[in-house]
A and B are shown apart, each in its own frame.
Chain A
Amino acid sequence: MTLSHETVNVDGWLEAVDRLANGSLTLLGLWADPPGVKMATLDEAIGDISIITYITRHNQYPTVGVKHPPAIRLERAIRDLHKLDAIGASDTRPWLKHPDGVYEFLAAEGEALHQISVGPVHAGIIEPGHFRFTANGEFLVRLEQRLGYVHKGIEAMMADAPLDKATKLAARTSGDSTVAYGFAFALAAEMALKIAAPPRAIYLRALMAELERLANHFGDIGAICNDASFSLMHAQCGILRELTLRAAEACFGHRLMMDLIVPGGVARDIAGDGATQLRTLLTEVRRVFPHLTALYDNTASLQDRTVTTGIVKPEYARQFGAGGYVGRASGRDFDARRQPGYAPYDRLTFDVPLLTAGDVNARVWIRIREVEQSLGLIEQIIGSLPDGAIETELQAAGAGEGFAMTEAFRGDVLVWLRLDDNGRVARCHLRDASWFQWPLLETAVEGNIVADFPLCNKSFNCSYAGHDA
């Protein structure tokens, strides 16, 4: 990975905005480090990542969102959290903060249109968010999301926090991706501290990350089928998910593997019989999962619900830089494990599945294929786990900046942080993949029937907690 930092003037900022708008750069993140505003971009053709900083004047910076819509919500968040204004922005409504008063939803006008208002409290055991649907009979003509309900002020709490406290906060940004967040935070902190984790820790991190991916994909595949009323798949995938979590607990002492990845390495080595436990898991999954895949593929009533439902257009996936199965089901060939890439994945063999149909079915298939890849990765890791220490001692290295991306099950997690002279976190920004996936859900449901929304939504499985932070 080539990573460059640069402070730019207004011309440099606007040039980057133009390159985002014409598609030659992909937006990875936009956040504030007052008085500066920072933008991370990826040049997908050559794989270069660039972080540019613009120092605001009178707490203002030129808008990105007007020319490049994926930045709109990020600008609204920056205004809420740091009181820096995007000049020229078309949408200045609050986003993560919910002040008293009426929130103005976008208008959808026409004869025979009606609105359906859902949330923040939803019917299932899920996270809170508000969906405002406008429908014409059964057909959706507009969905507008309102998020921020689980905003806990994680980044504000990290400011001036000691590294161990910040590590715990990062691990609780999105519980389903606690490993991926811990991983990205540790890599960013290690870059700032100019240290590297020992080889054994690096492999154990990837082992945890692949177990997390497996557990979540099993959960998702089952839950998507359940939203099409096919509960048999849900029950069977639920068993595989539980077996995976039990294997994780047997190996690392925690079902979700929370707080195990720390700057410098991992907090706990794999249990003595861990490799045996995992081989048992792999054998069971390989015995059962192909039958479930065939069941999914051969059940016409289920396919009838998932095929051609909730299509994300490839051009939107590209424009929004959508990561994970949302992007890869719509032709965006991106996986943070490969680009920018990080250890130990550079030494492991795996494929990144890619489809172009962009419907619910394609997002299911990407997950199925990724399950198969993760099984192979786990096998490689336990077969080549290096001996040695699991933690490098942290040493004060003075002030520094760090940046990392890891591939969570739903897509890329980005962490940028700045440490002060005492090794405390001066500022940290965590960007969930959901920031660039939620807006695509709004596009994917258009023209679908209301009853297919849960199916579309589950096939995205965006994070509320990771987004709201």
Chain B
Amino acid sequence: MRKTMIESLLRGQLTEPAPPVDEAALAELAESVNRAARARLGRSLSIRHVDAGSCNGCELELHALSNAFYDLERFGLRFVASPRHADVLTVTGPVTQNMREALLRTYEAIPDPKWVVAIGGCAVDGGIFVGSAAIVGGVKDVLPVDLTIRGCPPNPRQLLAGLLGLLQTVA
């Protein structure tokens, strides 16, 4: 173990500089944020994630945000286990009939102020699953959405650019 750790230290860091903030995301967010919220949150945001019907592709890339290359936590962004601890709800997938209630309950459990980020093409409007009787639609059909990050799935740089936009605007 010591050898692996020393080698890692000697190799220098893999972590890459942050991507530029997504300008479209900034414009979308500007409306949903007020100064009071900004003061309260400081420079950090806690994120609670819900898969509302995803194929799991988006989750894989959300996971990648925590690896050595992207290191999400250096920006003050972190995923938390409980909605009670969260400021932001990220949602992937078309919202299925079977996940609608769980998604709503998770949203309601997050204290105000809170923001919702729809991640991936399916979360925007149902994507390729539009027309299925088993889905409700996109996230916006169930919750007020403050930010969308498109892609199938969005890659970690796109995810990071979107979330940094959120951080810059909100916190």
Contacts and interface: CB of A to CB of B under 8 A. Distances in A.
Interface stretch (B22-30, B33-41, B53-61): B53-61
Given A126-B51, A151-B134, A172 B57 contact: yes
A80 to B, nearest CB: 10
A87 interface: no
A437 interface: no
Contact of A299 (B1, B54, B102, B152): B1
B99 to A, nearest CB: 5
A235 B73 CA distance: 14
A149 B128 CA distance: 18
Contacts of A219: 60, 63
Contacts of A169: 128
Q: How large is the interface on A (under 10, 10 to 19, 20 to 34, 35 or more residues)?
A: 35 or more
Interface residues of B, number: 50
Interface stretch (A10-18, A105-113, A116-124, A305-313): A116-124
B138 interface: no
A172 B59 contact: no
Given A157-B132, A258-B152, A176 B94 contact: no
Interface stretch (A38-46, A238-246, A339-347, A348-356): A238-246
Contacts of A175: 54-60, 153
Contacts of B63: 125, 219
B79 A125 contact: yes
B81 A156 contact: no
A17 to B, nearest CB: 30
B4 A295 contact: yes
B82 A123 contact: yes
Task: Count chain A CB atoms within 10 A of each CB in B57, B135, B155 and give the residue with the most.
Answer: B57
Interface in B67-86: 67-69, 79, 81-83
Given A153-B132, A172-B55, A239-B67, A121 B153 contact: no
A175 B127 CA distance: 15
Given A123-B81, A153-B129, A173-B55, 7 more contacts: A121-B105, A125-B63, A126-B51, A152-B129, A156-B133, A175-B57, A465-B56
